[in-house]
Chains A and B, each alone.
Chain A
Amino acid sequence: MVKGHNNIIEVKGLIKRFDRVKAVDGISFTVGDGELFGFLGPNGAGKTTTVRMLTGVLKPTEGTATIQRHDICSEPLQSRAHIAVVPEEANVYLDLSVWQNIMLMADLYGIPRKQRIRKAEELLDSLGFSDRREHKARSLSKGLRQRLMLCAALVTEPEILFLDEPTSGLDVQSRQMIHKIIRQLNSQGLTIFLTTHNMEEAENLCSRVAIINEGKIAAIDIPDRLRTAIEARQYVEVVFSDKRLSTQEVKTMSGVSSVDVAGNVIRAYTETPGKTATEVACLAKSRDIEIEQLCTRKPSLQEVFLYFTNQDKKAAMQ
């Protein structure tokens, strides 16, 4: 399942309670070396709490997790030495310059002076900061501050980069820039743990995703397989040019579980999209009804997400 041969993160039965509330409820998963792992969930699902436990900010109530085989509870300093974090609710030091911000983080990781200067200059060049190195972080836009946080994280040469909602609140250009950087970093071998509630982001970037809901992992797989896994949410979409088949006619076809209609467009949810498409085409031909478009679709990751995070459907599935 995972990209690399080794699991770089291993999580077993992790639980976090805040008083009586279980924010994270016994989650288990692994992340492979070089993987771009997406951690999806609605607001309040437990994504940030999980990241905060893995990065040593919060202590788990129960369960274990290792980062590069270092236990996050018994060897917190060693496990943190392998990671860099760009937390969701975080900021750079506004009264320090771009350069001072980067140097501070490198210095905290004990990166030797010559090496941190070389690495920082490389990063400033590649992230388009070279002409702003002496600027105070206060003068930067939100997108540039986010890029600066990435710079400050990457200067420590981590093996795992935790990105918690890295594009939240950014404009389209900044978001695309961050996406490009994430892809580049992953292609260079960096393992990335990305939490997001943006389906498009997860679909475009992640090699594997876990969906977390109410503190529990609802599903975990590569996005394509997750889409296929919920066969009932595959559908056939038919655009009729003038007249259309009746909802009832389509609904009674074998394998069709439900039908949505919008004007001359019929969407039939089916476990056997190929067969349903053929049946629709044959029936339309026999009635002399013209079809403008006919296609079969797997559900989008957004639909998969909604499916797994919807309690009624989850219960129905069980």
Chain B
Amino acid sequence: MTVYVENTNSWQFQTHGALVILKKNILLYYLKPPVLIFGILFPVFFFLAFKMGRPIAAENIVPGMVAMALWFTASSVGPLVTPWERRAKTYERLIATPVSLQAIITGDILSGLLFGVGLSIIPVILGLLLTDAAISSFLPLVSGIILGAVSFSSLGVLLAAPPASSPSNIMLLSNLVRLPLLFVSGIFLPISEMPVWARWVSPLSPLSYAGDLIGVGFGRQAYFPLWLSPLVLMVLSAALMWGSYKFHRRWRSKGL
């Protein structure tokens, strides 16, 4: 009968599988209320709460807004997909296909990446059109957005690994991680102006590095050495992807 079975181990087959998962996630999850609330409304209201009534320079607002949008959007798809599929009882059929767990996870990470990059371009454009902010260096801006999106999205997928009866439990868990990191990553206040304890904690957050690179893109002074931020984001992304795979496999082997 089927003649496509012998190449399932090939990277081409698995890459195709990851792209099919990406397509499925775009169709199914980009417009789900939890993604819209935690991915779009959250950063908008955070921004308004921070900005209203304060005279803040445009070069500080725009990079902060872009980094915050990226942080929330890229990390909001992952925590939804697997718990939702488990609850909707579609997950088991998916993992019984010849698409590997790595490919499924890659597809989920790509979904967050694309969502994050796509939506963080909006504050970039609005910032350029409505404020005096200007892009002074493309490479740090683009690498900050893309590498940041990969690591944030991987974090989201990692957070989706524990078995939960309801997707809202995982969304709560993800906010428990995302919100504290937001305040120590130099988004509302440059890292150099933060209290000493926050400056010590700041290097632990991937958002600090992505935010720093985006800030440099808009002409701000770099806090971390320029070579360090992309490197840390790459290492963190790899570690989070590896962790995602390990934890998803662990729960799956327990039948959860």
The stretch that binds B, out of A49-57, A226-234, A237-245, A255-263, is: A49-57
Query: Nearest Cβ distance between residue A289 and chain B, in whole angstroms?
Result: 60
**B63: CB under 8 A from chain A?**
no
Which of A18, A96, A111 makes the CB contact (< 8 A) with B254?
Answer: A18
Tell me if A107 and B95 are in contact (CB < 8 A).
no
Q: Does A89 lie at the interface of the complex (its beta carbon under 8 Å from any beta carbon of B)? A: yes
Nearest-Cβ distance from residue B28 to partner chain A, whole angstroms: 6
CB within 8 A of B88: which of A58, A81, A91? A91
Residue A295 is within 8 A (CB to CB) of chain B in the complex: no
Give A107 to B24 CA distance when docked, in angstroms.
10
Q: Quote the shortest CB–CB distance from A100 to chain B (angstroms).
A: 7
Looking at the assembled complex, report how far the CB atom of A310 sits from the nearest CB atom of chain B, in whole angstroms.
28
A95 at the interface (CB under 8 A from B): yes
Residues of A within 8 A of B24 (CB): 93, 104
Stretch at the interface among A153-161, A175-183, A199-207, A297-305: A153-161
Cβ of A156 and Cβ of B96 under 8 Å apart?
A: no
Residues of A within 8 A of B6 (CB): 78, 81
Q: Within the assembled complex, what's the spacing in Å between the Cα atoms of A93 and B252?
A: 20
**CB contact under 8 A between A108 and B5, given known A77-B100, A95-B28:** no
Interface size class of A (residues with CB under 8 A): 35 or more
Check if B2 sits within 8 Å of A87, measured CB to CB: no
Which A residues lie within 8 Å of B23 (CB)? 107
Q: Which residues of A contact B1 (CB under 8 A)?
A: 157-159, 190
A59 at the interface (CB under 8 A from B): yes
Report A-chain residues with C-beta under 8 Å of the C-beta of B5. 78, 81-82
- Interface contact A57-B252, CB-CB below 8 Å: yes
Within 8 A of B (CB), among A32-72: 49, 52, 55-59
Mark out the residues of chain B between 77 and 101 whose CB falls within 8 Å of any chain A CB in the assembled complex: 88-90, 92-100
A-chain residues with CB within 8 Å of residue B90 when the two chains form the complex = 90-93
* CB–CB B93/A96 < 8 A: no
Docked CA distance A91–B1 (Å): 25
Is A87 in contact with B96, judged by CB distance below 8 angstroms? yes
Closest chain B residue, CB of each to CB of A61: B253
Chain B: number of interface residues, binned into ranges? 20 to 34
Cβ–Cβ < 8 Å partners of A159 in chain B: 1-2
Task: State the CA gap A214–B116 with chains docked (Å).
Answer: 49
Q: Which residue of A lies closest to B94 (CB)?
A: A108
CB distance from B22 to the nearest CB of A (A): 11
CB-defined interface of B237-256 with A at 8 Å, one 1/0 digit per residue?
00000000000000011110
Closest chain B residue, CB of each to CB of A149:
B93
CB A67 to nearest CB in B, in angstroms, measures 10
Nearest A residue to B89 by beta-carbon distance?
A91
Cβ of A109 under 8 Å from chain B = yes
Contact indicator A111/B28 (Cβ below 8 Å): no
Sample of 14 A–B contacts (CB below 8 Å): A18-B255, A77-B8, A77-B100, A78-B5, A78-B8, A81-B4, A81-B8, A87-B93, A93-B24, A96-B27, A100-B27, A104-B24, A108-B94, A111-B4
* Chain A residues near B (Cβ < 8 Å): 18, 49, 52, 55-59, 77-78, 80-83, 85, 87, 89-96, 100, 104-105, 107-112, 149, 152, 156-159, 190
Interface residues, chain B, CB within 8 Å of chain A? 1-2, 4-9, 13, 16-17, 20, 23-24, 27-28, 88-90, 92-100, 252-255
Known: A90-B93, A112-B4. 20 other contacts (CB 8 A): A18-B255, A52-B92, A56-B95, A58-B255, A78-B5, A78-B98, A80-B96, A81-B2, A87-B93, A90-B89, A93-B28, A94-B88, A100-B27, A108-B20, A109-B2, A109-B97, A110-B7, A156-B2, A157-B2, A159-B1
